[in-house]
Amino acid sequence: MSRTTVSQRAAQFLRDHRHYGAYCDKCIAKELRLGAGKNRTMARNVTSVLAEMDEFRRGPGICCKCGEHRLVTHGRLSGSRRSESE
Ligand SMILES: [Zn+2]
């Protein structure tokens, strides 16, 4: 499985779920069925790649899935809102 493909899947997942909120690496890994161990490291790589894209934001926050406060990634809502500093 190439890293690009996983990144694309993660990007698509976050696009599809962005109205739910932000997801932590662990939950993204789970949703993408990356499993644990070294694949979890891969998930972190993936979200790092996403963070460099204009479309996604990454930072400390509450994961909408597990409810834990950690580093999370979410897609920007295009159009309607532009509040960057919430
Ligand atoms: Zn989570």
- The token pair at 83 is 């509040």
Please determine, for residue 79, whether its predicted confidence score (pLDDT) is greater than 80: no
**Distance from the CA of 70 to the center of ligand 1, in angstroms?**
8
State which residues have CB under 5 angstroms from ligand 1, the bound ion: 24, 27, 63, 65-66
- Ligand 1 geometric centre to CA of 80 (Å): 26
pLDDT at 60 over 50: yes
Q: 77 CA distance to ligand 1 centroid (A)? A: 20
Instruction: pLDDT band for 86, please (50, 70, 90 cuts).
Output: very low
Greatest Cα pair distance, the chain, in angstroms, is: 39
pLDDT in tens, 61-75: 999 999 999 999 999
**CA distances for 79 relative to 12, 15, 50, 76, 85, angstroms:** 18, 14, 19, 9, 16
**Amino acid residing at 21:** G
**pLDDT, tens digit (0-9, with 9 covering 90-100), for 8-58:** 899 999 999 989 999 999 999 889 888 666 766 777 888 888 889 999 999
On whether the pTM is more than 0.85, the answer is: no
